[in-house]
Amino acid sequence: MHHCPYCGTDVRENESYCIKCGKKLPKDMFERLESKSKFNKYWYLPIAVFAVMMLTIGIYYIFQQHQTTEAKDLYKKAEESAVEENYQKASKHLSSALDIKSSFSEAGTLMSFVQTAIDIEDKQVGQAEQHLEKQEFQKALSIINDAENRLTNYIGEAVNPLINKLTDKRSAIKLEQLRYSLEQEPGINDLKTLLWEADAIQTDEASEVAGNIRSQIVDYTFSQASEQLNEKQFSDALLLVEDGLKYAPESEKLQSLKTTIEKEKAAFETAQQQRIEQAINSAEEERKLNENDAIELVNANVERNDQGEVVVKGKVKSVATIPINSVLIEYNLMNGDETLLSNEVYVYPDTLIPDDTGEFEFTHFDIDQKEEDINIKVDRIRWYTDQQG
């Protein structure tokens, strides 16, 4: 229906005059109305389609934002669980996150690590434990090394606890391997190698084992160097002591012996041996005249160490009025009336001032008798002073 442009009365199409106001209708009125109708008809559809598209895009964007937020929350929970080493829980969170957003690359990377961690804990650590129980140490270490290599491509807070666990497991395996090697009664060269291995394990238990090995090295070195010294083999004795000090640089026992050797060597090389003998003779004469002597034997005992070797230990005290040097203890080990062996050992420290005390210790490696059947008899104590000529 069309309307008169003058009075608004309804008019039929193609009429020339308005039936109410009688005015002539414009000839192009029906053409313009038809053009306007066509305009509306052609543009309604694309506008409607565009509106629907924009609404759809908006709804999809909001949906995507919601999914992204939800996936990130799940990823954060998974990361926290992985840091706490709850890998099964982390895996469930990550699966849910990837179901929501399959293109979530960070979640995919963390899922790869979590699956690797589960495999390492469930399989490789258990396999290493089985080999350790069978004392197959190298196989156990190889498995731990392989597990660590699988983690080289992963970094982050979640990775560190598992790496630390594998590091602790390697240290535990090496410590058990070290203890096993010590049970095989290794020689001195093997002990030196085992000491480096013990020092490389950064644990309190390994430090304790390392200290025990050092004590064995010191005892062996002291005994061997003392024998060389007693035979006037000064260079060999020094080489032994200096080598021992590489492994136990703070050993007062070896440092004192080194000082003694150097002094004895200097005296021997400068023809002062006679002077030393005269000093010893003079000291012996003084001992005969003085019932207290210059050196007082406090005690002398025989015992066995943790390795089963016989150890002679004792203590002396200076009752002299001047410093004395190079105190030498001569003793016999007795089994009843039978003399098992005779030996000499120097007191450390090398120089004793008045009222000072010194100690002596010597490890014998080839004595089979029980320590309760062995008695020590100190036959003679020798020394010299700087004032003696």
Q: What is the pLDDT of residues 127-143, one digit of tens each?
A: 888 888 888 889 998 98
Q: Are residues 163 and 75 in the same domain?
A: yes
96 dihedral zone (left: phi>0; alpha: psi -120 to 50; beta)? alpha
Give the pLDDT score at 389: 43
Predicted pLDDT at 260: 92
Q: What percent of the chain has pLDDT over 70?
A: 73
pLDDT higher for 87 or 262? Answer: 262
Pairing verdict, β 310-318 and 10-11: unpaired
* Residue 292 CB partners (closer than 8 Å, separation 6+): 319
Same domain, 312 and 206: no
pLDDT of res. 227? 92
* The pLDDT value given to residue 77: 79
Residue 26 DSSP code: P
The answer on 323 and 207 residing in a single domain is no
C-beta neighbour count of 90 within 10 angstroms? 27
Phi and psi for 121 in degrees, rounded to 5?
A: -70, -40
- Does residue 255 lie within any of the structural domains? no
Residues 209-227 have a mean pLDDT of 92
Whether pLDDT at 59 is above 60: no
3-state class (DSSP) for residue 329 = strand
Asked whether residue 120 is domain-assigned, the answer is yes
Of 172, 189, 213, the residue that ends a domain is: 213
* Domain presence at residue 122: yes
Last residue of a domain, one of 198, 213, 228: 213
* Strand pairing report for 338-346 and 324-335: antiparallel
Give the range of the structural domain holding residue 167, as residue numbers without chain letter.
65-213
205 and 304 fall within a common domain: no
Cα separation, 99 vs 89, whole angstroms: 16
On whether residue 117 sits in a domain, the answer given is yes
The answer to whether residue 225 scores a pLDDT higher than 70 is yes
Q: Are residues 188 and 298 in the same domain?
A: no
Question: What's the total number of domains in the chain?
Answer: 2
| Residue 86 covered by a domain | yes
Burial of 158 (0-12, 13-18, 19+ CB in 10 A): buried
Would you list the DSSP string of 127-140? Answer: HHHHHHHTT-HHHH
- Write out pLDDT tens, residues 137-166: 899 989 889 988 888 888 778 888 888 888
Is 33 among the domain residues?
A: no
Q: Within this chain, do residues 102 and 202 fall inside the same structural domain, yes or no?
A: yes
Please tell me whether residues 95 and 187 are part of one structural domain.
Answer: yes
pLDDT tens-digit series, residues 249-276: 999 999 999 999 998 888 888 766 676 5
Average pLDDT over residues 51-72: 59
351 located within any domain: yes
Amino acid at 368: D
The amino acid at 275: R
Return d(Cα 264, Cα 279) in angstroms, integer. Answer: 14
Please say which residue of 184, 213, 242 terminates a domain. Answer: 213
Is there a single domain that holds both residue 199 and residue 321?
A: no
C-alpha–C-alpha distance, residues 382 and 68, integer Å: 90
Residues 299 and 185 in one domain: no
φ/ψ bin of 179: left (φ > 0), alpha (ψ from -120 to 50), beta (otherwise) = alpha
Which tokens hold the place of 180? 């096993």
CATH number at residue 379: 2.60.40.10
Whether residue 177 lies inside any domain: the answer is: yes
- Global pTM exceeds 0.95: no
| Separation of CA 134 from chain center | 24
Q: Domain check: are 167 and 305 in the same one?
A: no
